[in-house]
Each structure stands twice: as structure tokens, then as C-alpha cells.
Chain A
């Protein structure tokens, strides 16, 4: 029943985002339209894949650091990606893919640094240090980024921030293919860690007694969730909120078992982002809203209603 409903919502979100748009495309020409085929369809799929990835990455990270405020972008990745993007513009790196690739590399660099910081206390990855390290590395990268923007000559540098908060305008079949080939690997790793993640919720010590290889699980989950987020930021910039709230909503409805929580977070995140992007493109047409604004405007009320219902019940 719950799954059927979620599946229906997901399909509906995808269909709506292909049917609706600022340009008027008659229903009869939907299948032959260049706009639908080359712009809307890849954008809808990319939104779904990115939203789903962020949802799963958020659920995994929240379990890992045992902190309900954990967000995929909290661990320094957005700062690293922003620095990469600004460097690509400042150094005039050529080619249509220079920006996303540089952002991806920047996110990976931040991931590496935060990971290294997380191991500072020894071989054990300390979730608290991960969080602190993520915030610190993110702030550090943001400071360098701001310095470059302030000092460098290129006027278009200021636009790097637009790109970073840019949403899904860059969607094409190329980017869909890229994410569709890339994301299943970290997604599968996270899904395979469902059972140890359940145990981790009981505390690291108890999880160890119950047979989980805690250190390996933590490392695997952290790296997989961050790799998902890095890909998301490379193709669509920093889209806030999906990775924070969707896991909570999924947890309220599906409970704490990651075997069902993670797929629910994927479908829910995908549906939310696809739906939010449809609104972003259409409500103020011909203008467009930043999609992060819409995810927050939809996500918070849904979250509040669910929170109220479940805490009263």
C-alpha cells in the first residue's frame, strides 16, 4: 500500500515534469517534440536520479554520524565543488564539461581531506570529527573561493556561484547517461550495507557485539554517500534540503530498517526533486526559480505535517 502510493507519486512526478513546461507543447505532439525529447525528458530523469541519490546519501550519512541534522552537503563537499568550479573559470579551462569535471574533482578533494581528518584519532573513523572536519574544510574552501572571486579579473567569476546553486539547467542525455552509469555503484554499496547500518543505530559498541565490522561499514558508507553527492553536485550544483528531509520523511513512514528506508528515500527524493523542478520551471514562467527554493518550500510543510502526525500518534 505504502509502496504502491510512493511508486504512483514517483511516476506521477516524472510524467508531470515531461508534460508540463514553460513552452506550450500540445499533448498530441508530446512524443515528437524536440523540446520534450531533448530538454524535458533528460531533465526529468536527471532530477529523479539526483534527488534519489541525495535522499539515499542523506539517509546513509544520518545513520553513520547518528545525527539527524546530517545533510550530504554538510561534510564539506559543496565548498570543495564551489572551489573547483571557480578555479575552472579563473583558469579558463576549455571545453563544455570543464566546470562539472572541476567541481567533481573539488568535491573529491574535500572528501579526501575530511576522510583524512576523520581518521585523526587513529584507525577508527570518528563521526564527530567527520562532522567538524566537514564544516571546517567546507568553510576553508569557501574562503579560498571568495578570495579568488574577489581578486581575479574575470567578471564571469561571480556567475560561478550561480552555477553552484544552479539546479538542473545543464541536463542533457549526456549527463543522464553519466549519472545512470555512475550512481548505481555507490547506491548498491549503500543498499548492501543496510543491515550493518541498522545495527550501527544501536551504537558502535553494540553493533560490534552483534557482528558488524563497524570500521569497514563506516568507511564504506561515508565514501559511497560522498561519491553520490559529488556526482550530484557536478551535474546539478548544490540542491539543499532533499538529502536532509527526505530521509526523515522516509523514516517516519517506513521506520528505521535501511533495507526499506533506502529505497524509499531514493523514490521519495527522486519524486520530490522532479516535482520541485517542474514547479521551478513553470510557476513564474517565462522566468525560472532556483530549484532549491522549491524543494524547501514543498519539503518543510510535508515534513512538519508528518512530524506532527507521528509524534501525536
Chain B
């Protein structure tokens, strides 16, 4: 409650600042401290005004030629200021709130934006559009993103568990972006009943819930090392080698490419489903 109140005050403060300065002129030199914001800024045509990014901002390729200010969480204030920005875009989280205050004290305009789930994308795009004077492009992107977020998920034909870490097993629960991604792609997250975005669970819970797939954010095409550990062999999907290896750049963050991520995840699920059914004709009956 208190936290909400504080955040609310901060947001009102931030918006107030933004509104006042925007009447003067749109931002010219922007430092973006989250890969999703960098992608959104490029998508609304303000990419040429981004003068600083985090080391994780790897899309679009043009972003890679922008100087990096470090890993962004918490931001390195000096590195950010060295880029002489007139706007710093930060993800709304604890250490960033402090950093934003410091930057404001140094006379740099900041904005803290929530971006945890699909439905945060539209508002984020609009905020960025307003601050950069790209309202029209931002609005058309926001409409597409809103409709993506509002789309009722298709009936799930398969199930998966997102494994973030293997020892102790950390899974993705309800209320996270990845959970939305899975349901939009037609896969039920077997830990959809866990309220937290991520949580530690027992291995036997994963065995009992028996997901069809084990989804892992991975930048290599190699099966994760835990697949070879004996205790993980108790999970049927691990025994069957049914891993979905999802590159973090596309799948790990909400952004203008979320629709593409959903489409590609669905293709992976369907494509491999067909393959699996050829291997195991017993299940052919479930395929329409």
C-alpha cells in the first residue's frame, strides 16, 4: 500500500516534469536503460536520438553502434551523465527510483516506466511518443500492442514449464511476461497457479505436473547441462529431450517484437509437435 502510494507520487512527479518540459521541446538526446525501451524508441522512429544504451540492448542491430553505459541495473550515473542526455528512460524498480532522483537533481529529465507484462507495452509506447514528439507513430504502435495484450489466448494444446535455474529449481509463475507469452502461443504454463513472477519449487512438483515441454531462455542451441543430471531425468519432458531453447533477445523481454515472439513460439510448439507425433503414433489422435 505504502509502496504503491510512493510509486504513485513518483510517477505523478515524473509525468508532471515530463509535461512541463515537453511544452518546451521533445527530447533530443535519450539514454535508454532497458532493452525493451530501446526497441520501442527505434520502433516509433526515435532511434536516431538514442545516445546511450545498456550492454543488453542488442536490437535493432543499429542499437549496437550506440555507446553502452553499462548493464543498467543499477545504472552507472556518471556513465549516463557523460552521454549528456536530456532524457533518461528507466525501468520502474527500486534502485532505478533512486538513480532517477539523482539524475533529476543534476537537472536531467527522467521517466520511470513500468514494463513487466504485455499490457504495459501500449502505455510505455505512448509515454515515449509523448516525450520524443513522435505521438502519431507511438499511437499506431500502441494500438497494435494493446490489441495483442487484449487478445484472448487460444485454447492451450500443450503445456510447458519455464525453468530459470536448475538448482534450486526456479520456475516462472503467473503474472509474468513469459507466462503470457506461453498462453498466447497456445501452451499452458503448468505453474500458472503460482502468483509470483518466479519462484523456487521442488523438483518433484515439476515431475508431478508433468509439462510437455521444458522452456529455457538460452542463447546457445545446446541442451542445458542439468538435462544430464540424474535427478532431472525424473521429469518426463527432460527424459524425452523436449526442450524449447528460446533466445533471450527475442523471447525474454516484452517489446515491439512480442507478436513475433508469440508467433515463433507457436511455430516451435506446432512444428515439434508434428515431429513428436510422427515418432509416437499413439498421440496422433490428438492432432486435428
* A interface residues, Cβ below 8 angstroms from B: 21-24, 34-35, 38-40, 42, 94-96, 98-99, 153, 155-156, 159, 162-163, 166-167, 169-174, 281, 285-290
Indicate if the CB atoms of B205 and A170 lie closer than 8 Å. Answer: no
- Min distance, Cβ A87 to any Cβ of chain B, angstroms: 15
| Cβ A22 vs Cβ B165 within 8 A | no
Docked-complex contact A159 and B165, CB < 8 angstroms: yes
Minimum distance in angstroms from A196 CB to a CB of chain B: 39
B177 at the interface (CB under 8 A from A): no
Interface assignment of B65: CB less than 8 Å from any CB of chain A:
no
B228 touches A39 (CB 8 A): no
Chain B residues within 8 Å of A35, by CB: 204, 207-208, 234
Residues on B with beta carbons closer than 8 Å to the beta carbon of A172: 229-231
> When A and B form their complex, which 7 residue pairs have the shortest distance between CB atoms, in order from nearest?
A23-B208, A172-B231, A172-B230, A169-B168, A96-B228, A96-B229, A159-B165
Can you list 7 A-B pairs with a CB-CB distance of less than 8 A?
A: A95-B228, A162-B165, A166-B168, A170-B231, A172-B229, A286-B191, A286-B201
Q: Determine if A156 and B234 form an interchain contact, defined as CB atoms under 8 angstroms apart.
A: no
User: Across the two chains, which residue of chain B brings its CB closest to A282?
Assistant: B202
A39 and B229 contacting across the interface, CB-CB below 8 Å: no
In the complex, what distance in Å separates the CA atom of A286 from the CA atom of B209? 10
- A98–B196 Cα distance when bound, in Å, is 30
* Cβ of B169 under 8 Å from chain A: yes
Whether B202 and A288, one on each chain, are in contact in the complex, defined by CB atoms closer than 8 angstroms, is: yes
Per-position 1/0 for B195-238, Cβ under 8 A of A: 01001111111011100000000000000011011110110000
Known A-B contacts A281-B202, A290-B200; the reply to A38 vs B225 at CB < 8 A is: no
Is A169 touching B169 in the complex (CB atoms < 8 A)? yes
Given A156-B165, A166-B167, A281-B202, A24-B208 contact (CB < 8 Å): yes
Do B207 and A170 have beta carbons less than 8 Å apart? Answer: no
Contacts of A169 in B (CB 8 A): 166-169, 202-203, 231
Q: From B252, which residue of chain A is reached at the shortest CB distance?
A: A155
* Pairwise interchain contact A96-B204, C-beta atoms closer than 8 A: no
| Least Cβ–Cβ distance between B77 and chain A, in angstroms | 16
**Residue total for B at the interface (Cβ-Cβ under 8 A):** 31
**Cβ-defined contact, B234 with A39, below 8 A:** yes
Instruction: Find out whether the CB atom of A42 lies under 8 angstroms from the CB atom of B231.
Output: yes
- Which residues of chain B in 173-204 are interfacial with respect to chain A, using CB atoms and an 8 Å cutoff? 191, 193-194, 196, 199-204
Q: Is the CB of A287 within 8 A of B208?
A: no
Cβ contacts under 8 Å, B10 to chain A: none
Looking at A22, A94, A153, A287, the one whose CB has the most chain B CB atoms below 10 A away is: A287
Determine if A287 and B200 form an interchain contact, defined as CB atoms under 8 angstroms apart: yes
A22 near B168: Cβ-Cβ < 8 Å: no
- Per the bound structure, the CA–CA distance linking A156 and B166 in Å amounts to 11
Residue of B nearest to A93 (CB): B225
Q: Tell me the bound Cα distance from A173 to B165 in angstroms.
A: 21
Give chain B residues whose Cβ lies under 8 Å from the Cβ of A21. Answer: 202, 204
Min CB distance A82 to B, Å, is 14
- Knowing A34-B234, A173-B230, say if A39 contacts B204 (CB, 8 Å): yes
Query: B204 contacts which of A23, A95, A167, A289 (Cβ < 8 Å)?
Result: A23
CA distance A99 to B170 in the complex (A): 17
Closest beta carbon of chain B to A223's beta carbon, Å: 28
A24 to B209, CA, bound (A): 11
Give Cα distance in the complex from A23 to B208, angstroms: 6
Question: Would you give the shortest CB distance from B78 to chain A, in whole angstroms?
Answer: 16
A155: chain B residues within 8 A (beta carbon): 248
> In the complex, what residues of B have CB within 8 A of residue A94's CB?
225
Indicate if the CB atoms of B208 and A288 lie closer than 8 Å: no
- CB–CB B168/A288 < 8 A: yes
Tell whether, in the assembled complex, residue A285 and residue B205 are in contact, meaning their CB atoms are under 8 Å apart.
yes
- Among residues of B, the one whose C-beta sits closest to the C-beta of A36 is B204
CA gap between A34 and B208 in the complex, in Å: 10
CB-CB under 8 A from B169, the residues of chain A are 169
Cβ of A24: which chain B residues have Cβ within 8 Å of it?
208
Known: A95-B225, A287-B194. A171 touches B202 (CB 8 A): no
**Cβ-defined partner of B201 (8 Å) among A163, A170, A287, A290:** A287
Not counting A40-B204, A159-B164, a sample of 18 additional A-B residue pairs whose C-beta atoms are within 8 angstroms of each other reads A34-B234, A39-B204, A39-B207, A39-B234, A96-B228, A98-B225, A99-B167, A162-B167, A162-B170, A163-B167, A166-B168, A170-B167, A170-B229, A172-B231, A287-B200, A288-B200, A288-B201, A288-B205
